[in-house]
């Protein structure tokens, strides 16, 4: 496995792979890797001749600078995990390598077709502009045949699909397949997240109630309305000392617009456990 830190190094390796007719799988990450990431990477390794994993804490998608500073980083441990799985290249650039100063300080403009106006987009203005900025750049550099994303960040996944399949950029990434990968959970049900590293053991025990409530809501949906289930989820989680719901929305899986029934619906939640912001979702 090679760790590449410059765009030039990466481009040279990608061009060599393309000349040999090799298929390339890409897994974009921000590091602090866990078994959820590992499941994506294993799939990419198994389905492609070459696997590239990016490890880059992207500053342009953080609207909270304190969150950027606190985001966990451990490239040595990440590299050990990726090497064991069989990754060929790790791309770990600095922000200065990825962006010019102007790009770093200018909002990346993109037509999201309204997908950025709800949930995470509403709570974190500019977040998805930064996501599309870095992901589109990675696609341009790596030219992957397949790119792998986890369903835990469901709104992000919907936006990536829009970028590749329906936006003005679709011709740029012709033939690229976006591969959805299921949420990986701890035995307790807690969705794996890099942010879990910031939770104490006591907080982890409390945070389990997020997924527990979502699983229970599937039963509620059999006899209750969308609005009633939505409120029940919020009330149940907020009743747990140490948890506070930022939002819980039940929306269409494709458009992310509110729904009147549970057909093709997904419930997306963001909960604060102390100062740590956790996200999860459940498909109905």
Q: 277, 195 in Cβ contact below 8 A?
A: yes
Residue of 20, 37, 73, 48 lying closest to 181 (CA atoms): 37
Catalytic residue (choose from 34, 37, 88, 162): 37
Whole-angstrom CA distances from 172 to 81, 114, 183 are 32, 21, 29
What size, in residues, is the chain?
A: 284
264 is catalytic: no
Which tokens is 182 given? 């299921």
Paired tokens of 7 = 């765009």
256 and 175 Cβ atoms separated by less than 8 Å: no
Q: Is 21 helix (H, G, I), strand (E, B) or coil?
A: coil
Active site residues: 37
């Amino acid at each position: 496995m090679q760790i590449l830190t410059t765009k030039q190094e990466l481009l040279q390796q990608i061009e060599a792979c393309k000349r040999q007719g090799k298929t390339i799988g890409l897994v974009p990450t921000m590091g602090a890797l866990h078994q959820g990431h590992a499941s994506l990477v294993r799939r990419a390794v198994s389905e492609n001749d070459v696997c590239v994993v990016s490890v880059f804490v992207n500053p342009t998608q953080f609207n909270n600078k304190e969150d950027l500073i606190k985001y966990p980083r451990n490239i040595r441990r990440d590299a050990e995990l990726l090497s064991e799985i069989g990754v060929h290249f790790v791309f770990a650039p600095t922000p200065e390598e990825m962006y010019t100063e102007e790009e770093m300080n200018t909002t990346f403009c993109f037509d999201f077709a309204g997908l950025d106006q709800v949930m995470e987009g509403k709570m974190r203005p500019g977040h998805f502009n930064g996501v599309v900025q870095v992901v589109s750049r990675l696609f341009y550099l790596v030219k992957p045949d397949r790119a792998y994303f986890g369903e835990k960040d469901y709104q992000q996944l919907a936006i990536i699909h829009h970028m590749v399949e329906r936006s003005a950029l679709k011709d740029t990434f012709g033939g690229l397949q976006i591969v959805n990968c299921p949420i990986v959970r701890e035995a307790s049900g807690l969705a794996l997240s890099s942010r879990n590293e910031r939770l104490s053991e006591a907080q982890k025990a409390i945070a389990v109630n997020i997924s527990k409530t979502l699983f229970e809501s599937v039963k509620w949906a059999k006899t209750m309305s969308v609005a009633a289930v939505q409120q029940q989820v919020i009330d149940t989680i907020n009743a747990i000392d140490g948890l506070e719901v930022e939002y819980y929305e039940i929306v269409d899986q494709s458009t992310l617009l509110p729904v009147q029934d549970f057909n093709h619906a997904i419930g997306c939640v963001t909960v604060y456990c102390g100062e740590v912001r956790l996200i999860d979702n459940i498909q109905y």
